[in-house]
Amino acid sequence: MTLEEEIRTRLAPLEAESLEVFDDSADHAGHAGARESGGGHFQVVIVSEKFAGHSRVARHRLVYDPLRDLIPHRIHALAIVAQTPAEAASAF
């Protein structure tokens, strides 16, 4: 299982309507912190009704918590966009 697949599997309980996982590691080649940890740079864009009523910080925690043991050993950096379906629809 690739790390991208593992991230998707671990975030499955959030019942995302949309989940995109991007491996941006190549954009950070040579980055000192990434070399030290051995982890990659990822971006998660997730749309879930489970984010309704939660602050931005709480939403990020909902994403970070299932991935916590992967940081920093396999994930060096994680950028998160976490929206409800209504927020995602109004973004366009």
Check the CA dihedral 86-60-5-26 and report its sign: positive
pLDDT (0 to 100) of residue 32: 59
What pairs with residue 21 in β-bridges? 44
Q: What is the mean pLDDT of the chain?
A: 89
Contacts with 19 (C-beta within 8 Å, 6 or more apart), sequence order = 8, 11, 44, 45, 46, 47
Other C-beta atoms lying within 10 Å of the C-beta of residue 59: 21
Reply yes or no on whether the pLDDT at 33 is more than 70: no
Global confidence as pTM? 0.85
User: Which pLDDT tens digit goes with each residue over 35-50?
Assistant: 555 568 899 999 999 9
Mean pLDDT of 44-66: 98
**Among residues of the chain, what percentage have pLDDT more than 90?**
68
pLDDT beyond 90 at 51: yes
Domains and CATH numbers, the chain: 3-90 (3.30.300.90)
Q: Which amino acid would we find at residue 52?
A: A
Binned at pLDDT 50, 70 and 90, residue 89 comes out as very high
Give the dihedral sign, CA 76/28/22/74: negative
Report which DSSP code applies to 73.
Answer: T
Q: With a cut of 90, say whether residue 70 has pLDDT above it.
A: yes
